């Protein structure tokens, strides 16, 4: 069974370096597939597709990273998950991996009575097709994944209107608290996320389908 580690609340830059170290360990077969759970202080991250200028003007701390996509926000009340997974054993299927990560979130929020979904051509997890409850952005290094998802649980959504998250108007962002119609504590979401992670990424869920070799990939986030 893949491992799960919970870092609690941790600075983004410190977490980034620790995640990169785990990626190196996974590539060297010194660590198992691992889901990192963490909550970050307020920070805006910008992926490889760059920024349209609104991130720099937001007044928030900004960190450039190697994941796919443009800008997104992390802050208190958001559960961030970083799956460090070796895709060699999973058919080197990056797009399936992204959809599986989305499926983890879909199942987890479903346990709170919130019906979320995948939307074709729009990475992330959506409610009603128009309200985004979670962002997805990954990178792949020698077939080991890193970065991941950000689930808005009980998050102040106002920072999203200070820039264009993943190119969208910030008003599209929603939270589990808003959609459930009641306050949902971050701690309430950890167990449903881990249970969904184990169901989707457990050994019985693995599938092999050979793909052409690839060294480094970044997929969009939204």
**Catalytic hit among 87, 166, 173, 186:** 166
Q: Which DSSP category does 6 fall into?
A: E
Contact 104, 2 (CB under 8 A): no
Give the CATH number for residue 153: 3.30.930.10
Q: Which residue segment(s) compose the domain that 188 sits in? A: 3-206+214-219
How far is the C-alpha of 116 from the C-alpha of 158, rounded, in Å?
22
> Is 0.75 surpassed by the pTM of this model?
yes
Question: What average pLDDT score do residues 185-212 get?
Answer: 77
**What is the greatest pairwise CA distance in the chain?**
47
Residue 85 confidence class, pLDDT cut points 50, 70, 90 = very high
How far is the C-alpha of 8 from the C-alpha of 31, rounded, in Å?
20
Residue 204 confidence class, pLDDT cut points 50, 70, 90 = low
User: What does the mean pLDDT of the chain come to?
Assistant: 90
What confidence tens digit (pLDDT) does each residue in 98-114 have?
Answer: 999 999 999 999 999 99
The number of domains in the chain is 1
How far is the C-alpha of 49 from the C-alpha of 66, rounded, in Å?
9
Give percent of the chain above pLDDT 90: 75
Active site includes 140? no
Helix 94-110 and helix 186-201, axial crossing angle in degrees, nearest 10 = 140
pLDDT of residue 24: 97
What confidence tens digit (pLDDT) does each residue in 57-79 have?
Answer: 888 999 999 999 889 999 999 99
pLDDT of residue 216: 40
Higher per-residue pLDDT: 58 or 180? 180
Strand positions, DSSP E, the chain: 3-9, 34-39, 43-46, 62-64, 71-74, 78-84, 116-119, 122-127, 131-141, 144-152, 216-219
Lowest mean pLDDT among 63-72, 83-92, 212-221: 212-221
Answer whether residue 176 shows pLDDT above 90. Answer: yes
Residue 123 confidence class, pLDDT cut points 50, 70, 90 = confident
């Amino acid at each position: 069974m893949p491992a799960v580690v919970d870092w609690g609340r941790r600075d983004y830059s410190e977490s980034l370096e620790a995640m990169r170290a785990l990626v190196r360990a996974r590539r060297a077969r010194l660590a198992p597939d691992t889901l990192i759970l963490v909550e970050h202080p307020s920070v805006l991250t910008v992926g490889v597709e760059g920024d349209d200028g609104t991130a720099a003007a937001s007044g928030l701390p900004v960190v450039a990273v190697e994941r796919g996509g443009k800008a997104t926000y992390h802050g208190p009340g958001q559960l961030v998950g970083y799956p460090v997974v070796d895709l060699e054993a999973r058919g080197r299927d990056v797009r399936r991996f992204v959809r599986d990560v989305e499926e983890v979130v879909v199942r987890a929020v479903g346990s709170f009575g919130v019906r979320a979904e995948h939307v074709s051509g729009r990475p992330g997890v959506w409610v009603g097709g128009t309200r985004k409850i979670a962002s997805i952005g990954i990178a792949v290094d020698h077939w080991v994944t890193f970065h991941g998802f950000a689930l808005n649980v009980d998050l102040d959504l106002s920072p999203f209107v200070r820039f264009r998250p993943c190119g969208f108007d910030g008003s599209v962002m929603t939270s589990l608290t808003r959609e459930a119609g009641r306050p949902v504590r971050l701690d309430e979401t950890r167990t449903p996320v881990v249970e969904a992670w184990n169901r989707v990424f457990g050994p019985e869920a693995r599938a092999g389908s050979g793909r052409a070799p690839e060294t480094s990939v970044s997929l969009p986030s939204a």
